Chain A
């Protein structure tokens, strides 16, 4: 058997590594010339947070997220497992309580507890939730890391190639092209996200921090060398061409309300992409003759892709359906 994977975002790359590790001849075809802004994955936060991403489908996100976290830990030496911290300003404390009711694996912190974990935030927030088992990775490091692993297993990536060859014999095509697969997957829609990258020497964070706020929810993920990624808007739109002033204003307001030092930070980058999502905002594996689609990761590409790659590989190699997430249709 050989497998051609179309798309080198996190869905395609985790899938490629999974197949290659199982001894399947694997090739990846990516339309763009390198890993980069053509893909949602490039702009992702890279948070492996199965328990605080619990807005809905909490059980599924937690189950697949935990499995994916274990997958990343084995393959990413630079994975940073310091947990995630959720804080809210006093007037939005009820939003933290609401969130805590829907999830597990957290502990409540008071202002002192928050300060012990994140000295920069000491006494700024009365209460917080700490999810100690959660982790994060830098997507722009993770994708090349998976590419190296694929190469060491004998797989190849073809950049600047669409890989439109028709499958024959025991050749399987796995389509991981996100919103570009919309013609085939009619229920897909785009949900625009915008993010920005800041640099500041005045503040240090040890782990991703989320500001729980009913109006402007935002998160800040620390990267090396004083760099911070701030994300992300969610707008029902498939226009990936521009970042609006309003979105930047909202994200920066959230960052500054987390800590005023962000007001003096240098803006390194503004980015936007459109997330592919199905109506239930959960990913799917769709099997059609000769072609398998893995799509609809919405906000949860890095969080869920490895578990879906495993299920897709199981399904393709054994012929068994993956009943929890698969949609067997022949449209």
Chain B
């Protein structure tokens, strides 16, 4: 998968929040085989480098860091956080979240487009967390984004892919744009399904971090993503309304 001219070896991206400990996180990252981890910046941790303990663990993982404006509810907050992230991690990559609703955590797509424009103009390479809305997607691409991250379901809900036709339409409409399903994936079969639909990748956090065995679950997701991608390349059969026998009927005995 090629994003912003960077070749990623794995189609699985992993979030770093809510693990039982940094040691478990480290093992989960290894087991997942991921090449990219997202890190939420709480403003407090980045001020005066007071969060250096945790950030140095993240840096030592040996994978690319995609900082995240998680929890930002306004354009200004998201832009400020993006700038802090660039300074702390020395990367122009930013996963842009502008949250519009406290309960569903769904993106404020108006603020998202506005913030994406500001950040792209400022040299950031923006990964916007968005819905499956095609018009919003168009505006994000116009703003300068070269990758889109549609949700599967509300963040942390583990519901899976709530709008498969919407994701299919997005895939069909933006054949050349990397699409990474960002939120709501609960179990590996959800991830496999996303890849089977032709999505380029998935970003998982809670489903791994809050599993009974996060390391085992990271491995399961790695397998699922590979299986889903292989299935997509192998061109899945199309469903049919009627039964079609898989064994030939010729030569069956007729008992009359």
Contacts and interface: CB of A to CB of B under 8 A. Distances in A.
Interface of A: 55-57, 98, 101-102, 188-190, 192, 214, 235-239, 244, 277-282
B20 A189 contact: no
B123 interface: no
Nearest to A182: B53
B50 A237 contact: yes
Nearest to A55: B20
The 5 closest A-B pairs by CB, nearest first: A189-B53, A56-B20, A236-B54, A280-B23, A281-B21
B10 interface: no
A280 B24 contact: yes
B105 to A, nearest CB: 10
Interface in B47-64: 47-48, 50-55, 57
Given A214-B156, A280-B24, A244 B53 contact: no
B45 A237 contact: yes
Interface in B177-235: 210, 212
25 contacts: A56-B24, A57-B21, A101-B212, A189-B53, A189-B54, A189-B57, A190-B50, A192-B44, A214-B156, A235-B42, A235-B45, A235-B51, A236-B45, A236-B51, A236-B55, A237-B45, A238-B50, A239-B44, A239-B50, A277-B21, A278-B23, A279-B22, A279-B26, A280-B22, A281-B21
Contacts of A214: 156
B20 A279 contact: no
B47 A236 contact: no
Contacts of B23: 278-281
Interface in B16-41: 20-24, 26
> What is the interface of chain A mostly: helix, strand, loop, or mixed?
loop
Interface string B152-170: 0000100000000000000
Residue picked from B23, B45, B53, most chain A C-beta under 10 Å: B53
Nearest to A238: B50
Contacts of B48: 239
Contact of B44 (A55, A98, A244, A281): A244
B80 to A, nearest CB: 15
B21 A190 contact: no
B53 A102 contact: no
Contacts of A281: 20-23
Nearest to A242: B44
A56 B210 CA distance: 10
Contacts of B22: 189, 279-281
A242 to B, nearest CB: 9
Size bracket, chain B contacts: 20 to 34
Contacts of A280: 21-24
Contacts of B24: 56, 280
Nearest to A101: B212
Given A55-B20, A190-B50, A238-B51, 13 more contacts: A56-B24, A189-B53, A190-B53, A214-B156, A235-B44, A235-B45, A236-B54, A236-B55, A237-B42, A238-B52, A239-B47, A244-B44, A281-B20
Contacts of B54: 189, 236
A42 to B, nearest CB: 20
A279 B57 contact: yes
Q: Which of A57, A98, A236, A238 has the most CB of B within 10 A?
A: A236
B18 to A, nearest CB: 8
Given A189-B53, A190-B53, A214-B156, A237 B44 contact: yes
Contacts of B47: 239
Contacts of A238: 50-53
Nearest to A56: B20
Contacts of A57: 20-21
A116 B57 CA distance: 46
Contacts of A101: 212
B193 to A, nearest CB: 22
B34 to A, nearest CB: 19
A107 to B, nearest CB: 21
Contacts of A56: 20-21, 24
A32 B45 CA distance: 27
Contacts of B212: 101-102
Given A98-B210, A214-B156, A244-B44, A236 B53 contact: yes
Nearest to B210: A98
A302 to B, nearest CB: 19
A279 B56 CA distance: 11
A279 B44 contact: no
Contacts of A235: 42, 44-45, 51
A314 to B, nearest CB: 26
A237 B51 contact: yes
B56 to A, nearest CB: 8
Contacts of A102: 212
A52 B165 CA distance: 43
A31 to B, nearest CB: 21
Nearest to A94: B158
A57 B55 CA distance: 23
B120 to A, nearest CB: 29
